[in-house]
Each structure stands twice: as structure tokens, then as C-alpha cells.
Amino acid sequence: MSKYHKILLTVFLLLLAGLVFLEASQPQPINWNPSYAHVDKIPLGSYVFYESMQKKYPENFQKVKQPPFEFLNDSSVSGTYLFLNHAIAFGEAELKKILAWAAKGNTVYISAAYLGQNLLDTLQLETRVAFKYNTVKYQPILNFTNPNLKADSAYFYAHDTDLVYFLEIDTTAQTVLGISDLLAKKPVIEDSLVNFIKAPFGKGEIFLHLFPEAFSNYFMLLGNNREYAEKALAYIDPEKPIFWDAHYKIGGVFQTSPLYILLGNKYLKWAYYFVLIAAVLFVLFEGKRKQKSIEIVPPLQNKTHDFTRTIAGMYLENNDHKAIAEKQIQLFLNYVRTKLRINTQEIDEEFLKNLSERSGNSEKTTRDLFSYIASIQQKQHLEKSELLKLNKSISDFKEEE
């Protein structure tokens, strides 16, 4: 490695080390993923709410990991089924089973910003996302309609998020429990946007709450907002079992791939990148320096031509023209058998006719050649001129093919 290359490599490594240091010293960004998983302590996890419910109802609070369709197969299950997630959409068969369970006198409590259309159609409801022209922030404020639960000052959610509300409800069949609005200048609800209702269903009840952030870690640890979550659950009978749904959770599905975990931590991620870069540099510089030369192996030479010339030279030196002619005739007959596919065992009229047709020579040329071959085979000695004539006749015969 030249001195110039060493300087470039050193500068590159220093820049890389500086980049790693700057990245590692950055504060970890806040994860606003709407998990709502009871094990997550991120802002939109439900660790605080879940622990509070366990302490408040240690005997009646039960976690359910199964899908509702499977859990409700047990006919002895009764009480309140509590669903909390950013969005909840039941399948048709599952929704029928949940509604049938509620109709028996049980309670279904759902807190989700976005509900499945089949559930909304069943209860004849429609939702919208709130929008205001006079504000650039979308920070919701919440309160209750029940005078016993209503707070003097609305509960404030100090983070921008969508505020979903019910467009219209049937007040003769459904009860408004909570209202909301987007924060303007004061935490006062000007547009009473309904976000919490109760709908009777058979002998039971269905509660629909459109602001699941109210049960998140961030909301419950902000000011007196824990009070809002307690009031929102005041409609649940604490004497009956409360089933916490752990199936419909965004945070319930997580990656277990080692590479995903490795890249999920910024320190491990940059260490991993550093190892990869070091490996590439090693291959480019160190590996290239130690590469062994590849020996050049010459290809095998064809010695047949040299061997033939040697044998022919031996016959010529002894003036044995007859032997050379016999070898040449044998080679020609072998050529006729292999190349033209004609049997040379009998040299008759049919053979001469087939040979002339396949070789492209006239019958006269073919007859003259084999007549000359027959005359040579009858002689005991040959002159050089006769051998040359034989060679020329065979060569001319082959060229016509």
C-alpha cells in the first residue's frame, strides 16, 4: 500500500469514527408507535393503565391472549370484555359471537380511534375525523356529559393526533357519555363532538370510546388525566370479571429476527456497520496483498501430426513406396466407411455406384480410381511417380465431396 493510500484510509477511518460518535451521542428519539400493549412503557403503551387495573381489581382483572372468537366458546364466561387499540376490526363471525355474548347480559367496552365498518353498521353509527380552520395544532380536549363525572376544566392531550368523533347517533337508543374538541385558545369545549357512547344490546351493553390515547402512558401521567381514565371506566361493574384483550394490539406483534434486534439498537447498529466496513477494507487491501499467483499450465499438444511425419519419413528413407501406397489405400477405404457410410468389404458395381453418388464424383472417375488402386495392389514394387499419382487421385476424389 502506497503512502497516499494510507493517508486516504486514515482520513476515511477518522471520518467514520466521527460519524459513529455523532450518531451515538444523539438522544434516542421518542417512539410514538400506538402499541397499547400492556408491557410497553413507550408513550402510547398501556403499562401504567394495566398495572393500575391489576392493583385496583386484583381478583377480577384477567388478561386474555386468545382471539375473542375462541375465548367466548366457553359459555361460562361473563362480565366485561375490554378492548383497547388504535384500530379494531372484528371479522363477521367474530363480531356475531361478541354481540351474542353482549346480548346475554354482558358488557363490551371498546376504546379505539377506528372501528370496523361492520360494527358501525350494526349500531347504525358513522365516524369522522375532526378538523378546524383556526388552528394548526390538533391537540384534543376531553370531558364527560354526566354532571357527576364532568370536570370543571377539560382534560388536555398535549400531543398532535387525530380526533375521531361520531357524526350522528340515535339518542333514543344510545346515550352520550363523553364529548371532545380540538384545543383552541382555552381548554374549553366549543364544538361538542361525541366520542364516548353507550348502546344497549339485548340484555347487555356496548361502550364505544374513540380516544384510546386516554388510557396510554403519556396521557395518564400528564397532570390529573389519570382521573379521566378512572371516570371513563366508572360504568363498568367492578364486581364482575373484567377481561383485558391482549390479542388486538399493534404492539402484540413484534419482530424476533436477530438482525432486526441488532439494527433496532443504534449502538449495535453502528458497531455492525463498522465491522462490515472493516471487512470490506480488509478484503480490498490485506486480501489483495496476500493473494497467491496462479500458475499458467500450458495446454496439451497434439503429437499425432509429428508421429505421422516420422513414420512416413521412415518409409521414404527406405524407398518402400509399396508400403506407403498400401497405408494410403487403407486410410482411403476407412474414409469411405466412416465418412460416406459405405461398406468396403466388396468392391462391386453397386459399391461403385453408391460411392459415386455420395461422393459427388462421376461413375467414370470412381471406376478409374479403384481400377488404379487394384493395379497398385497387384504390383510388388512401386515407383515414386506411381505413388504420387495415387495420392493425387485420392486427393482429387475427396475434393469433389
Q: What is the mean pLDDT of residues 348-363?
A: 86
Contact 90, 98 (CB under 8 A): yes
Instruction: Please calculate the CA angle 344-350-355 and round it to the nearest 5 degrees.
Output: 60
User: HSE on the CB side for 280, CA within 13 Å?
Assistant: 8
Q: In whole angstroms, what is the distance from residue 331 CA to residue 334 CA?
A: 5
Mapping DSSP to helix (H, G, I), strand (E, B) and coil, where does residue 185 land? coil
- In the three-class reduction of DSSP (H, G, I as helix; E, B as strand; rest coil), residue 61 is classed as strand
pLDDT of the residue at 255? 47
Q: Is the dihedral of CA 200, 202, 205, 210 positive or negative?
A: negative
- CB-CB contact of 238 with 80 (8 Å): no
Which 3 state secondary structure label does DSSP give 398? Answer: helix
pLDDT for 311 beyond 70 = no
Picking from 95, 328, 52, 110, the residue whose alpha carbon sits closest to that of residue 235 is 110
Q: Round the average pLDDT of the chain to a whole number and report it.
A: 84
Length of the chain: 401
**At a CB cut-off of 8 Å and minimum separation 6, what does 46 contact?**
35, 36, 37, 38, 40, 84, 215, 216, 217
279-302 pLDDT tens trace = 777 776 665 555 566 778 887 776
Check whether 268 has a pLDDT greater than 60.
yes
**Mind listing the pLDDT tens digit for each residue in 55-67?**
999 999 999 999 9
The per-residue pLDDT for range 130-181, each reduced to its tens digit, is: 887 666 577 899 999 999 999 998 999 988 888 999 998 888 889 999 999 9
On the CB side of 345, CA atoms within 13 Å amount to 1
Instruction: Categorize the per-residue pLDDT at 246 as very low, low, confident or very high, splitting at 50, 70 and 90.
Output: very high
Q: Which of 4-18, 26-40, 259-273, 333-347 has the lowest mean pLDDT?
A: 259-273
Confidence label for 347 from pLDDT (cuts 50, 70 and 90):
confident
Q: How far is CA 354 from the centre of its chain?
A: 69
When pLDDT is cut at 50, 70 and 90, the band that residue 366 belongs to is confident
pLDDT value at residue 396: 84
Task: Give residue 304's pLDDT band: very low, low, confident or very high (50, 70, 90).
Answer: low
